[in-house]
């Protein structure tokens, strides 16, 4: 068990299907805004999260290749959809379907990032995402840091190639 795992309860918490969890970051991924739904479910005050890296809510069981795809996509100016498990301050977790997008100024430069999240489809979560993420995490942890990440990204990309779909088509087909 890693140090981070000790802070994990294994307890899932839920938010309302009418709610949207919203956050914004600067270009470095440091939080500049979190709505009340974000703060309520994550268990933080606004003062505790503003200015902090967004990985403050990272859950250690999330595969790193998902965040690699996220950052590559948004830094290239595109939007991404992804299922994400987040960690609350007390170590519980909650699943979201996240939409993350760059924000541009009038010159077309990226000035920050914005994410909206809603309740994910339960069947897709249990039958597709949880087994997939467990597999990706197992690939990542069974090898060295770089080799593990390369191998999990390759596994993920092979799924998209097999189905001839993009990462966004994959996640939205489950939504």
Ligand X SMILES: Cc1cc2nc3c(=O)[nH]c(=O)nc-3n(C[C@H](O)[C@H](O)[C@H](O)COP(=O)(O)O)c2cc1C
**Residue 30 near ligand X by CB under 6 A:** no
Total number of residues that touch ligand X (CB under 6 A)? 18
**Residue 115 near ligand X by CB under 6 A:** yes
- If the CB atoms of residues 56 and 174 are measured against ligand X, the closer one turns out to be 56
- For the beta sheet containing 110-118, the strands, ordered from the edge strand earlier in sequence to the opposite edge, are 31-34, 21-25, 110-118, 93-104, 80-87
Chain positions 34 to 63 lying near ligand X, rule: CB under 6 A, are 54-55, 57-58, 62
Q: Which two tokens stand for residue 88?
A: 């609350």
Q: Long-range pairs for 162-165 at CB < 8 Å and ≥24 separation?
A: none
Alpha-carbon distance 115 to 62, whole Å? 17
Q: Which two tokens stand for residue 164?
A: 């001839």
Least CB distance to ligand X at residue 162 (A): 26
Per CB under 6 A, residues contacting ligand X are 23, 25, 29, 54-55, 57-58, 62, 64, 67, 70, 84, 86, 98, 100, 113-115
């Amino acid at each position: 068990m890693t140090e981070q795992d000790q802070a994990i309860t294994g307890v899932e918490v839920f938010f309302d299907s009418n709610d949207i969890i919203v956050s914004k970051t600067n270009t470095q991924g440091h939080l500049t805004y979190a709505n009340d739904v974000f703060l309520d479910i994550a268990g933080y005050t606004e003062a505790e999260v503003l200015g902090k890296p967004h990985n403050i809510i990272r859950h250690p069981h999330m595969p790193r290749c998902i965040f690699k795809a996220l950052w590559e996509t948004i830094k290239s100016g595109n939007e991404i959809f992804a299922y994400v498990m987040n960690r609350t301050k007390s170590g519980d977790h909650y699943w979201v379907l996240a939409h993350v997008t760059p924000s541009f100024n009038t010159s077309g430069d990226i000035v920050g990032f914005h994410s909206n999240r809603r309740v994910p489809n339960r069947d897709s979560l249990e039958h597709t995402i949880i087994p997939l993420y467990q597999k990706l995490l197992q690939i990542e942890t069974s090898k060295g840091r770089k080799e593990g990440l390369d191998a999990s990204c390759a596994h993920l990309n092979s799924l998209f190639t097999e189905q001839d779909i993009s990462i966004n088509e994959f996640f939205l087909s489950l939504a």
